[in-house]
Amino acid sequence: MPLNSVLITGAGPAGLTLAQYLKTHHVPFRIIEKASESRLQGYSVTLHFGIPYITQAMGQEKMDGFAEKTSVLYTDVTGFATVTADGEILIQTRGTPTIVGTGFRANRSRLRQFLLDGLDLETGVEVTGVEFPSDGVVIAKSNKGDIMADIIVGADGLHSSIRQSIIGDKVEELTIMNLSGSTHITAEQYKAFAKYSPTHAMVHGTKLPGKEGVANIFFGINDFSKDNNTYHMRWVISWDRALIYNDIPNTNAGLHEFAQEIASQFCEPFKSIVQETDPTSKIWLGKVCQYMPDPSWNGNGKVTLIGDALHSMTPYRGEGLNHAMIDIVQLGEQLVKAHHDEITIAEAIAAYEAEAIPRGKRAVQASYESAYQLHEGFSWLVTRITKLFGLTLYYSGHLPFLRFFFPKTH
Ligand SMILES: Cc1cc2nc3c(=O)[nH]c(=O)nc-3n(C[C@H](O)[C@H](O)[C@H](O)COP(=O)(O)OP(=O)(O)OC[C@H]3O[C@@H](n4cnc5c(N)ncnc54)[C@H](O)[C@@H]3O)c2cc1C
């Protein structure tokens, strides 16, 4: 019997891309989202090894101009740099980032618009859990009543309600902290930043005397004004509170002062970008979290998970969304087979999870390791070796042996 209804819960990049895949392959689906249409879509994100999978979901025709439509600079000009606190470039890539595959930095709102194209999204529908009645279907409980489906795909992110209703929350809070703000910078300030990277850079703090760890600052352009005079920049200061800065202010003004103090250890233009951020603007403090795919997960052959609902990783390898794109194609291929009665729904889910769960575990673990390594700080020797790699990378365009140091997770 063909699939009558695939219910996708959550319209983040994972849910939207799966919806596009099913649309392209003529499999009936519904996609619901708890937030309203206008919700804030975060900042920018690096797309790299996920791009060919987005192409499979959207179809080649719709991908024309993809980079121009979605990238932070309306072009695929991009690059990533890692820089020391005193401004020495260690690694500068042309194309983002060559370690895991080339790509570009996308503006999340424009990416969302791109992925939404032609979809009928039901907003304001919040799923609270799932039920398995005895007659073969599965039910999503929601604020708008029960929704029956042949299969439910939880695409509802880190704190997935679908996952929670089956195995509990299981989200781990790490000791890595993020303090982030955003600001508008002038074209002059942008020029100083663009010497390092046109789009985003990670600036490594120096280990202060008597301290065990370092604070780093990530900078990323989100957008720029039509007249090219103003650039919207996000900065994220991060550190391991088990090593440094465990005493954190609890007011917005206090957090601004705290950010300014940390930024004073960095050279220009990085210092000013943080210190000149409007002190009344909202500043965000958060704990980095992860969800490692849990072996006790069992969706009874009717429920499965994609994206952050299945594997939430720290952002330090920039891979979470890219892995979500692989999930979509892996699951989508199986759902098409189930729709054509070649396999059962339970077989489709089992085949998908057999690939996605071990891959997800690898990615969560590698991102966890990167998060902690980056905040321990690098020795003089490691910094010099990194510089050497960086130069070779810059002039050769790629370094295949980097895979020994940064093993692929996909
Ligand atoms: C600071 C930061 C930087 C990052 N940078 C990168 C990067 O450069 N490259 C990269 O590949 N990844 C990056 N990531 C990871 C990436 O953002 C995530 O992996 C990606 O957003 C996951 O997409 P998703 O659709 O699975 O989940 P989400 O984006 O979380 O979307 C989930 C959706 O489900 C909805 N929802 C939630 N609960 C319910 C419910 N109960 N009912 C209905 N709907 C619900 C939400 O409103 C949301 O729309 C970064 C993450 C962070 C935090």
308 lines ligand 1 (CB under 6 A): yes
Kindly report the CA angle at 9 between 5 and 13, in degrees rounded to 5? 115
pLDDT at 120 over 80: yes
How far apart are alpha carbons 337 and 51 in whole angstroms? 23
Q: Is 154 in the pocket of ligand 1 (CB under 6 A)?
A: no
pLDDT of residue 379: 85
pLDDT tens across 135-161, in order? 778 999 999 999 999 999 999 999 999
CA angle 353, 354, 358 (to 5 degrees): 95
315 lines ligand 1 (CB under 6 A): yes
E runs forming strands in 155-199: 172-186
Mutate to test the pocket of ligand 1, among 53, 127, 156 (most ligand atoms within 8 A of CB): 156
> Ligand 1 centroid to 183 CA: how many Å?
23
**Which residue has the CA at smallest separation from atom 35 of ligand 1?**
10
Higher pLDDT, 275 or 402: 275
Distance, CA of 294 to CA of 310 (rounded, Å): 9
Going by CA atoms, what residue is nearest to atom 37 of ligand 1? 156
Residue 402 has pLDDT above 80, yes or no: no
pLDDT digits (tens, 9 = 90+) for 256-274: 999 999 999 999 999 999 9
How many CB atoms are located within 10 Å of the residue 63 CB?
A: 17
- For 42-81, how does the pLDDT look when each residue is reduced to its tens digit (9 = 90+)? 689 999 899 999 999 999 999 999 999 999 987 777 788 8
Average pLDDT over the chain reads 92
Average pLDDT over residues 308-316: 97
- One-letter identity of residue 321: L
Q: How far is the CA of 305 from the centre of ligand 1 (A)?
A: 13
Between the CA of 307 and the centroid of ligand 1 the distance, in Å, is 7
Stretch 288-317: mean pLDDT: 97
Helix (H) or strand (E) holding 109: helix 108-116
CB-ligand 1 contact for 22 (6 Å cutoff): no
| Higher local confidence (pLDDT), 38 or 82 | 82
Q: Whose CA is nearest to atom 2 of ligand 1?
A: 315
For residue 238, the model assigns a pLDDT of 98
* Dist. CA 208 → ligand 1 center (Å): 34
Residue 241 is predicted with a pLDDT of: 97
Q: How far does the centroid of ligand 1 lie from the alpha carbon of residue 190, in Å?
A: 28
Determine the Cα–Cα distance for residues 378 and 382; give it in Å rounded to an integer: 6
Instruction: Please give the pLDDT value at position 403.
Output: 64
Measure the CA–CA gap between 274 and 162, rounded to whole angstroms.
Answer: 38
pLDDT tens-place string over residues 16-27: 999 999 999 999
The reported pLDDT for the residue numbered 210 is 85
Ligand 1 centre and the CA of 16: distance in Å?
Answer: 11
Tell me the two tokens of residue 14: 């994972």
Instruction: List domains and CATH numbers for the chain.
Output: 6-54+108-171+290-373 (3.50.50.60)
The helix (H) or strand (E) run that includes residue 361 is helix 345-376
Least confident of 196-200, 308-312, 403-407: 403-407
Taking the CA of residue 125 as reference, the ligand 1 atom at the shortest distance is 43
pLDDT band at 99 (very low <50, low <70, confident <90, very high): low
Q: What is the pLDDT of residues 208-259, one digit of tens each?
A: 888 889 999 999 999 988 888 999 999 999 999 999 999 999 999 999 999 9
Tokens of 207: 């280990």
Give the whole-angstrom CA distance, residue 359 versus residue 190.
38
Q: What band does 97 get if pLDDT is binned at 50, 70 and 90?
A: low
Is the predicted pLDDT of residue 400 greater than 70, yes or no?
Answer: no
**What is the SS3 assignment for 368?**
helix
Q: Could you give the CA distance from residue 293 to residue 338 in angstroms, rounded to a whole number?
A: 24
Lowest mean pLDDT among 77-81, 120-124, 345-349, 399-403: 399-403
pLDDT at 401 over 80: no
Cis bond upstream, residue 249 (ω within 30): no
Classify 64 in phi/psi space as left (phi over 0), alpha (psi -120 to 50) or beta.
beta
- pLDDT confidence band for 388 (50 / 70 / 90): confident
